[in-house]
Chains A and B, each alone.
Chain A
Amino acid sequence: MTETYDIVVIGGGNAALCAAITAAENGARVLILETAPIPYRGGNSRHTRNFRCMHHGPLGPLVESYTEEEYLADLMKVTGGKTDEHLARLAIRSSEECLPWMEEHGVRFQPSLSGTLSLARTNAFFRGGGKSLVNAYYRTAEGLGVDVLYEAAVTHLELDGDRVTRVDYTHEGAAKSLSPKSVVVASGGFQADTDWLARAWGPAAKNFLIRGTPYNRGVVLADLLDQGIAQVGDPTQCHAVAIDGRAPKFDGGIVTRLDCVPFSIVVNKDAQRFYDEGEDVWPKRYAIWGRLVAAQPDQVGYVIIDAKSLNLFMPSVFPPIKADTLAELADKMGLPGDALAQTVAEFNEACGDQSGFHPTELDGVATSGLTPPKTNWARPITEPPFYGYSLRTGVTFTYLGLKVDENAQCSIDDRLVSNLWAAGETMAGSILGQGYLAGFGMTIGTVFGRIAGKEAAAHAN
């Protein structure tokens, strides 16, 4: 490569593209180093579908209003207060101006998808999903003269005091280096490196499925943390949800979700229930179920429903296991038949009046005298055929990351690294200590991607 670049952006997803576009619009010569090949470019952004956005009055596809305070309260609820309020408010406040910016740069929105009406006020859905957003941003970036190298894997950033002096990467089988004026790291978490996950979680992590890109292996993150760049977050914290146990190891994305838990009983491999399946509507509970399943033996759960519940939830990508009797279902699913029969019988006996059953609202149709209880949608499992799904923990992204300030800038030994910025999942731990708020990952990526791009360009110019 004979070109000289002011800025190298490491990563090729939403945050990287927002940074590259912003930097290019501020006059910088930008190169994106994307480790994935073209069909898989875009990291986890390929699998996203919306962007959580503050707004005063209707904005684009969003209805009514969603204030800073309400947004922050929603965030505090899911993180249990484990958040940097200053950065969180910055992300929230900036989200409102992001939406028109996204439209100007090619992103198209649509009314909230069917089955997601509860998000119509808070989350703007990308028409066609995250890959269409990624495609639009690549076109915009290339139109601004940004160069993109695919299958370019960054291996090392050379630090000299408070400066990154060199970016080492491999491309087309050769080791190469660049020495740009500024570097933006937007290469995600480390969840695709299951060895790293296992170091944090123990061997249980080997049974986790990775919902998104297999390319987020945390190579750059590890390289920077090893050199003493300030880190944030706990290596066991991540966005993890309960998904279909038959999903592929990597990259299963949205279709592997299962929405049937609230209408089911969920047992572990010993056919024992372990948590209230009806605690809340599924969009508010699927994330905690990732951790619940992870805590069970072999990190697996089994969902059991009967015929009357089959059509109450979104169709699954893999058909359920079906049987005319519970004994046959237990056999097909590899569960102990007697134990399952007993668990179901105890559950059925604990069910009471079901006249108030309402599949989309907290209906209070609860068990009595059962531990753990089922506090909503508790209807006995009696009507054949019976259906079963397996549940596994699906990791979206890890929270251990680079600590940044309000300028998205990284630091080392309590001073700023003069030419290193980070955006997206790789620094999301700066805001998300635990838990997850739907659509907030794209907000962090867009807001901090734009900040990083602007700052990196200002430094380079």
Chain B
Amino acid sequence: MQIDLLQEARRQAEICNACRYCEGYCSVFPALQAERAFSDGDLTQLANLCHNCRGCYYACQYTAPHEFELNLPQALADVRQDSWEEFAFPRAAGKAFQKNGLAIVLATVLGFALLFWAARALAAAGGEGFYAVLSHNAMVAIFLPAFLFPLFSIAIGLRRYWQTVGGAPVRLSHLRGAIASVANMRNLKGGHGDGCNFEDEDRFTHARRYAHQAIMYGFLLCFASTSVGTLMHYLLDMPAPYGLFSAPKILGLSGGILLVLGCSKMVWLKLRSDKSLGATNAFGGEIAFTGLLGFVGLSGLLLYAAGGTGWMPGLLVIHLGAVLAFFLLTPFTKMAHGFYRMAALVRDAQRHETV
């Protein structure tokens, strides 16, 4: 981990700990105030607990030009970003993609190319619908490793995180607390329920919270759609294509719409936000990742709309290429934040228990 980033976060946390005006905003401050001195692990935990709602920045009487130059959202974002690169497995991949929007775009294009090649080389004669373009077995051969590898990689990353922050064995009650926080994004509510400061300086709104939840629930619905489809295929012997009122379609369509709306709104919000309150060098990576996720949703919806037309094969390989890139990059892009944030919230639930 970069010592200078940790040292700067430590300097700022010590000032915050002598002030404490912000303790009503989010989970970071009660956790911060529980310490008198901040180890690297403490700072890593605080950094991953921070949702970058920026309430503390706009409320702070010590921001520049004051000589204390507090910018806690940025200091924690820098440590957080650095921790994701450090915990990534393999580390080189974390460093290559986390902050690099261009690398994400290139990986996506590579995904398209791979699928085009697969469609030509592995085209199945006699399949129906999408499977006429790429056989079911070929899809499984490509996507099963592309799904399992990120899971494996994330598991290693989380293990590294847990060791760094000194986490205890996880119990169901910790998970319950963390899931409840994620489910309604409590930490973007500002403590008073008015939301966070993001797109319009110190004005509190729910825009970012709603956009985030649209993305999160959209993604989960799409994931559920694929999972249900897999179960129907293997357990119920009901292969795709599925009708409009089938579970995979309903889940996938609603999820896709939420993803597209959420990602578009999020990109718009990020473009309007003050970049100096986040990890400035990761801005491109974040925008590219959000764009990729939105594109996964959009291409999926277009694919549904163009299912019976000549556009279908082209759209299918583009959609699958984007999905492939998204999955493979999960441990190395902003997507990883979901896992680390969850871990931080679980760790925080443990802290509450011991207090």
Contacts and interface: CB of A to CB of B under 8 A. Distances in A.
Most buried by B among A111, A128, A255: A128
B241 interface: no
Given A131-B59, A135-B58, A135-B202, A113 B14 contact: no
A108 B62 contact: no
Interface string B1-41: 00000000000001101111111110000100100100000
B72 to A, nearest CB: 12
B171 interface: no
B65 A110 contact: no
A455 to B, nearest CB: 30
Nearest to B37: A315
A315 B36 contact: yes
A2 interface: no
A386 B54 CA distance: 39
A77 interface: no
A113 B59 contact: no
Nearest to B33: A114
B194 A108 contact: yes
A274 B67 CA distance: 33
Secondary structure at chain B's binding surface: helix, strand, loop or mixed? loop
B61 A108 contact: no
Contact of B22 (A129, A255, A257, A317): A129
Nearest to B36: A315
Given A135-B59, A139-B202, A315-B17, A128 B65 contact: no
A253 B59 CA distance: 14
B33 A255 contact: no
Contact of A111 (B24, B25, B33, B56): B24
Interface in A407-443: none
Interface string B177-217: 00000000000001110100000001100000000000000
Contacts of B22: 128-129
A135 to B, nearest CB: 4
Contacts of A314: 18, 20
Contacts of B191: 110, 127
B55 interface: yes
A253 B19 CA distance: 9
Contacts of A130: 21, 61
Contacts of B192: 108, 110, 127
Contacts of B61: 46-47, 129-131, 251, 253
A110 B190 CA distance: 11
Contact of B63 (A39, A111, A254, A311): A39
Nearest to B67: A248
A311 B17 CA distance: 13
A130 to B, nearest CB: 7
A342 interface: no
A115 B20 contact: yes
Interface in A299-347: 311, 314-317
B15 A132 contact: no
A49 interface: yes
A127 B202 contact: no
Interface in B50-107: 55-56, 58-68
Contact of B36 (A40, A131, A311): A311
A317 B14 contact: yes
Given A132-B58, A253-B61, A311-B36, A113 B23 contact: yes
Given A108-B192, A317-B14, A131 B60 contact: yes
Nearest to A316: B18
Nearest to A50: B21
Contacts of A248: 67
Interface string A98-141: 00000000001011011100000000011111111001000100
A113 B16 CA distance: 13
Contact of B59 (A129, A255, A257): A129
B62 A253 contact: yes
Interface in B264-299: none
Contacts of A254: 18-19, 21
A316 B17 CA distance: 8
B56 A128 contact: yes
Nearest to B34: A114
A46 B68 CA distance: 15
Nearest to A49: B21
B196 to A, nearest CB: 12
Interface string A251-279: 10111010000000000000000000000
22 contacts: A39-B66, A40-B65, A108-B192, A110-B23, A110-B24, A113-B20, A115-B20, A127-B24, A127-B191, A128-B24, A128-B55, A129-B21, A129-B22, A132-B21, A132-B58, A139-B202, A248-B67, A251-B61, A311-B36, A314-B18, A316-B18, A317-B15
Given A131-B58, A135-B59, A311-B36, 15 more contacts: A39-B65, A39-B66, A114-B30, A126-B21, A128-B21, A128-B25, A135-B58, A139-B203, A248-B67, A251-B66, A253-B61, A255-B18, A255-B19, A316-B18, A317-B19
Interface of A: 39-40, 46-47, 49, 108, 110-111, 113-115, 125-132, 135, 139, 248, 251, 253-255, 257, 311, 314-317
Query: 8 closest Cβ contacts across the A-B interface?
Result: A129-B21, A128-B59, A110-B24, A132-B59, A255-B18, A317-B18, A108-B192, A135-B202
Interface of B: 14-15, 17-25, 30, 33, 36, 55-56, 58-68, 190-192, 194, 202-203
